[in-house]
A = this chain, B = another copy of it.
């Protein structure tokens, strides 16, 4: 994966990566050209093609990087543990770790997932959450008859929800700590959104 790279190559890739994020922030992801990138990075246009096929290729490499980082964390999450912690009024630690990752990489995620960013990245994250949940939840519900909602539907719901949840946090200045985030998500997951926001049975 990580071929041993010449310093020069590392530097070039680093410059391109920075130029990419800057350009998204400045003029939005759509319509970034190779010429834009090399101008901003102050490198020769031909040099770009020594590393990437085109702008989409550069984007996909960046996406893959962060995808890996996320996978490493998400693969350890256990919905059963979340439910257990929630029913005992505790916070599931796996969630805290997940939000700590987003917090640490916030600069990148904020731009990339923001209004000017690249939404295919959002899709990738959602799909990742979804796949992992599928593995975990499938085990639990096989053979049961009392499920009110098919697991695949529910997983689609939750995966989108959790991404939207993080996104909102990123785009409103990250006012809560990762632990507070986990606490809130636990409430919503356990009680359901309606009761979590204060609707009361009467």
Contacts and interface: CB of A to CB of B under 8 A. Distances in A.
Nearest to A141: B198
Interface string A117-154: 00110110010000000000100110010111111111
Nearest to A80: B199
B192 A190 contact: yes
A189 interface: yes
Copies in the complex: 2
A169 interface: yes
A186 to B, nearest CB: 10
Interface in A163-202: 163-165, 167-169, 172, 184-185, 187-199, 201
A79 interface: yes
A87 interface: yes
A70 interface: no
